[in-house]
Amino acid sequence: MPKLDWLTRPEDEQIAASVPYRLLEAVPGLSYGDEQTENMLIQGDNLEALKALLPFYAGRVKCIFIDPPYNTRSAFEHYDDNLEHTQWLGMMYPRLELLREFLTEDGSIWVTIDDNEAHYLKVIMDEVFGRKNFVANVVWQKRTSPDARLMLSDAHDHVLVYARYHDRLILAKLRQNQKQLTNYKNPDDDSRGPWASSDYSAQGFRPNQMYTITTPAGVKHTPPTGSCWKNVEEVFLSLVSDNRIWFGKDGKGVPRRKTFLSESEGISAWTWWENAEVGHNQEAKKEILALGISDEAFTTPKPERLVQRILNLATNKNDLVLDSFLGSGTTAAVAHKMDRRYIGIEMGEHAVTHCVPRMKKVVDGEQGGISKLVSQSVSQSVSQSVSQSRLAGRRRISLL
């Protein structure tokens, strides 16, 4: 497989193996919540922190979410983002190598990035994780309106998704939103409740799926040009007898398959994530400002709803989540609210000035971000036994 080359690649390939193991020391004065939890915030170089954690957490992390510096050649307040391309690649490569070792066999890593480095990041992640373990490039609509200062305003960021082992990864279905729920109706008063219908034809030609269908009103239908029916005739007749085929109110229409809301396991996510569904940069800034922690928001924070979407897809309750570029603490906050275990690593002083105060508020039950959405989800789920107020506490650990 072709490899991406850069000036310091030979040295960068050796870094992960040569990083010494360090000890982690708890800081009781900054710890908060339940002392028995494994949740950690770590202040220090994430390369050293990852190496220190590896003997204890290798193969145990279900989901990694990172929002690394974007290398936009402009100085952020909390990051020195003015890195040369070579330096950026040299920074990312060994960290990705270490992160890979943390994933469970059915785990996944999600990396946000913009167009400046997205395509180079894809190439080195192909190398580190294997091209066969690439899952998707999610496109997240990060803005609500164009930037008038730009000739062609950027509207999106990328979220590159890789599995530890693609054939073992299972992503959850998404719950239907209110707009999607309006598609479920019950025009035939079916005792099983509201349903939505879908096209009963499929692309392609399969001889045993090319039969003629006669509707209850006697109208005959053959598959559309270039298509066949979705099932063989025997299966179709079984669906008809179970009242799972809809021919329209007059009984003359082209057959459609009924799917009942009561039987729905949700819908598969696709790779276009609108800001109406998962939030945008401005929403993220407001979330931070609402906490009263700082007078100035981060330049490119991620909204809690974006991280919530990822954890909904990739994790279950009590799974371990890792973020080694924690920034303002969003991943830890969302993981806590969703009853996931978590480890967050941040080098800058805002680990103390932003992350710790934010997590204290989260432990105490702050109602910003996704808090109300989580509470609604809990109240709507019969099987949910842990309320938001009883979620596990968290401890902050500092690197020596």
pLDDT per residue as tens digits for the range 376-391: 543 333 222 222 222 3
CATH topology of domain 9-175+267-399: Rossmann fold (3.40.50)
Q: Domain-by-domain residue ranges, the chain?
A: 9-175+267-399, 178-263
pLDDT at 73 over 70: no
Read off the pTM: 0.82
pLDDT at 163 over 60: yes
Nearest to 377 by CA among 338, 332, 329, 349: 338
The pLDDT tens digits of the residues spanning 3-49 come to 899 989 999 999 999 999 988 888 888 888 887 788 999 999 999 99
The pLDDT tens digits of the residues spanning 281-333 come to 999 988 888 888 665 646 678 999 999 999 999 999 999 999 999 999 999 99
